[in-house]
Structure 1
Amino acid sequence: MANILVVDDEHGIRDLLWEILNDEGHNVELAENAAQARAARLRERPDLVLLDIWMPDTDGVTLLKEWSSTGLLTMPVIMMSGHATIDTAVEATKIGALAFLEKPITLQKLLKAVEQGLARGNLRKPAATASQVPVAASSQEAADTESLVHVVSAPAGPQANQNFVLDKPLREARDEFEKAYFEYHLAQENGSMTRVAEKTGLERTHLYRKLKQLGVDLTRSKRGGN
């Protein structure tokens, strides 16, 4: 788990990046301008900074120069912008930025850049660490997961359904299967909603609604007890 500072004046982008990175198991702090970013840098000492270039008070490149000249550029910084030119990106890289992400930022590019940034900072990757530590689950959750694995791997025929009660309305039986299905994938992905969405082929918002509807307890799926 790493401490990541996201600096962007757009509320929607801040919230989206917080949601994705939080799902990946990171501690995320948000800043909407350079003043807040300065305070957060001194207070939290982030392991990685995602820094927007165009901001109302002080632009990201100027803030990057400030950190570099005062010895505060001790963490990897990834620049972000939807309007920056190649010259701006090159300038930021020369100052000390690790990479440049063009908005709208795709999920794959974001996660790859963050992973590379944390590796450059000589930090252990949170995903690798979490995968080595099983998420604690109740006996009922464990039973549901075991049942699903058995159903998937069992041969065709009556035995394939032995873990589910079929003498009930179709909707109830389907909900039971879907709940076990999503609990299984949440356990496999250590509670990462991002990876579960990719694995199951659902949009994140649809997935959240589906899990809430099925009564899946997300708090016990979060890594590190979060």
Structure 2
Amino acid sequence: MAGATGLEIERAMVTRLTAYLLLAVMAAGAAAPPKKPKGEGTLPDELLQIAKELGCGPVPGFYDRPGMVDPPYLYGWLPRDKEETAAFWCHRDDENKPYLLVFVEGLGSGQEGSVTSTLAWSDYPGGLSLFDIENVVGWYDSEGARLTNSERLPLSEFYYVDTRKPGPKGRTTEYRPLQESYDGIITLYYRDGDRWLFVSFD
């Protein structure tokens, strides 16, 4: 740069350095691997392994929706040591009912656990928790009585998953049902012997 002043030389060097840095950032961005969908990785490793053995994977885009979303899994769905049982949602491609609710027992102390039940559903699932009737407003039974005891819900208000017929009269739940919920819609699941019951409300 013949005849250039020191200030002009300094400005030229800064401009050239800025251009080099910009090119480096663009190259790094182009080489970066694509991000995984937000719905992946929503299961603990031990539950993810069980899901894979069932030909199942995490529910795609599970958290990609507004508002609070409970996790798609829950430890301690039965009233025993929390780490011994788990329930979780997973997704199967090319199925009429792609969403599978999986129940596992025998976990903890390094045990792999075993799948004791699965329920297939077509509706996109909500998050899982244990039912607390204090968070529900205006749930009444078929006779108009307010249901207020989350430990003893009448099974006659539930429906069997396999037949869609009402549950037995004169009997109640013996532990808190598993709750699926999102955006004010709640579905409860309860095991009666070898059969499953459910009920949905908002």
Taking structure 2 as the reference length, the TM-score comes to 0.24
Q: Which of these two proteins has the greater Rg computed from alpha carbons?
A: 2
Higher helix share: 1
Higher strand share: 2
Taking structure 1 as the reference length, the TM-score comes to 0.23
Ranked by relative contact order (alpha carbons within 8 Å, sequence separation 6 or more), the top structure is: 1
